[in-house]
């Protein structure tokens, strides 16, 4: 039977080729901060978290925020891709493979979006220097514009991070180019005020992110799928608009990315654009870090309340779909079989799920056998704050993470 003769749900369970990687179906667990790497060491809880995603039916699960440089971490508990973490990451990738899935490492650098101070470095790196509004809470009041030597080092750090991911058994890497992290700081005019060949026009602002993508492809592109996640719109005045998102996609496709994950928004300025709905006040109650608690409070004051609606980023994703001819993973509020039908019928090759799979890792299998067509996730966004708890990220409607497992190194 041809794909054309299959229903949309059946097509969602057909294999998908992404570069050198063949996925068993079209469902991807998107990267979501797990809070399961105390002092940067992947825990047994992190292993169980991702193995459950694979066992529940997701073809590919994504390990969030693996920093490629010591100065690239955004939080003290963030994974650093280095030799010390390889044994722990190997336990994780082996567990995911044993559960029948593939696994991706999201490789990133926080730039000036960091709450971690690096010894010997007074100012975090960014596209442009000057006042660092993100650093107000952590005492890093200024940022430093990257020079050519910085760019060469960071690009090689991304390439080496990808090589280490390959050595740790990962099947793919996802380069994070959105949400206000370093590469996003180059892409967005909100952060990039440069007047050299890396600033000004979008083509210039894409120059360094394209360099990073090229070096990662050259390093591992024959062995691992190389995916790029980016913001189709920054969702804030003076940032990138949807038409810019289309051009960003064209640049990444031209450079050779194997697939794009279509997200939106910025962590500090427009988080409701990213999540499609507002954060509840209850989130601050579970956060013990005073810096993060204060940041969340200020963020809620700055953004207008928004109610959740399914497929809230589809209007932007359609524009990208019409502009490029490479695999696209839609991300943003998929909660039902009807949503799957819509995305498949509109030509999206893959579907990335975050909150839905945190709520129930088995949802993909239940969708396949017809036992459930709509997720029980309420998009309350309380799972986001759970990453700061001892057990790590979990759904408040279900079982919390295990603090004991989360205190035990994966390879311990």
Catalytic residues: 181
Under 8 Å CB-to-CB from 304, ≥6 apart: which residues? 272
Query: 98: which 2 tokens?
Result: 């044993």
Of 98, 95, 101, 85, the residue nearest 165 (C-alpha)? 85
CA distance 231 to 214: 19
Q: For residue 20, count CB atoms less than 10 angstroms from its CB and return exposed for 0-12, middle for 13-18, buried for 19 or more.
A: middle
Q: Which residues pair with 174 in a beta bridge?
A: 106, 227
Other Cβ atoms closer than 10 A to 232:
29
Distance CA 310, CA 273 (A): 13
Backbone phi and psi for residue 361, each to the nearest 5 degrees, phi listed first: -60, -15
**Contact predicate 19/30, CB 8 Å:** no
Rounded to whole angstroms, the Cα distance separating 124 from 112 reads 5
Report the alpha-carbon distance of residue 103 to residue 124 in Å, rounded.
30
Q: Angle of helix 242-255 relative to helix 207-220, nearest 10 degrees?
A: 30
Tokens 């960014």 locate to: 126
Number of H helices, E strands in the chain: 17, 14
DSSP sequence for 264-294 = --BTTT-HHHHHSSPPPTHHHHT---HHHHH
What percent helix, strand, coil does the chain show, rounded to 5? 40, 15, 45
Q: What DSSP assignment string belongs to 293-324?
A: HHHHHHHHHHS------TTTTHHHHHHHHTT-
Angle at which helices 242-255 and 314-321 cross, to 10°: 40
């Amino acid at each position: 039977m041809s794909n054309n003769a299959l229903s949309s749900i059946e097509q969602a369970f057909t294999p998908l080729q992404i570069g050198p990687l063949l996925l068993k179906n079209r469902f991807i667990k998107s990267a979501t901060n797990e809070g399961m790497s105390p002092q940067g060491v992947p825990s047994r809880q992190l292993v169980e978290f991702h193995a459950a995603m694979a066992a529940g039916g997701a073809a590919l699960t994504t390990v969030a925020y693996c920093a490629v440089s010591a100065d690239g971490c955004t939080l003290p508990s963030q994974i650093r891709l280095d030799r010390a973490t390889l044994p722990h990451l190997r336990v994780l990738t082996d567990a995911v493979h044993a559960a029948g899935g593939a696994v991706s490492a999201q490789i990133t650098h926080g730039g000036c979006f960091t709450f971690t101070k690096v010894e010997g470095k007074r100012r975090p790196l960014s596209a442009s220097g000057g006042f660092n509004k993100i650093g107000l809470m952590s005492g890093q009041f200024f940022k430093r514009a990257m020079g050519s030597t910085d760019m060469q080092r960071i690009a090689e750090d991304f390439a080496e991070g990808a090589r280490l991911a390959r050595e740790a058994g990962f099947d793919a890497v996802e380069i994070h180019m959105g949400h206000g992290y370093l590469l996003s700081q180059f892409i967005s005019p909100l952060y990039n005020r440069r007047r050299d060949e890396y600033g000004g026009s979008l083509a210039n602002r894409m120059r360094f992110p394209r360099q990073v993508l090229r070096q990662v492809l050259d390093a591992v592109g024959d062995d691992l799928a190389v995916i790029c996640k980016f913001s189709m719109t920054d969702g804030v005045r003076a940032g990138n608009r949807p038409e810019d998102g289309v051009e960003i996609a064209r640049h990444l496709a031209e450079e050779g990315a194997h697939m794009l994950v279509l997200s939106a928004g910025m962590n500090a300025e427009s988080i409701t654009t990213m999540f499609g709905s507002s954060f509840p006040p209850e989130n601050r109650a579970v956060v013990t870090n005073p810096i993060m608690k204060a940041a969340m409070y200020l963020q809620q004051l700055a953004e207008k309340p928004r109610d959740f609606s399914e497929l809230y980023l589809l209007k932007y994703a359609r524009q990208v779909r019409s502009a490029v001819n490479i695999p696209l993973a839609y991300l943003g509020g998929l909660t039902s079989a009807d949503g799957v039908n819509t995305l498949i019928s509109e030509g999206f090759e893959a579907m990335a799920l975050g909150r839905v799979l945190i709520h129930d890792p088995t949802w993909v299998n239940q969708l396949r056998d017809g036992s459930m067509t709509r997720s029980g996730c309420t998009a309350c966004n309380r799972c986001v704050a759970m990453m700061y708890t001892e057990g790590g990220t979990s759904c408040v409607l279900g079982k919390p993470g295990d603090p004991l497992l989360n205190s035990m190194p994966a390879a311990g």
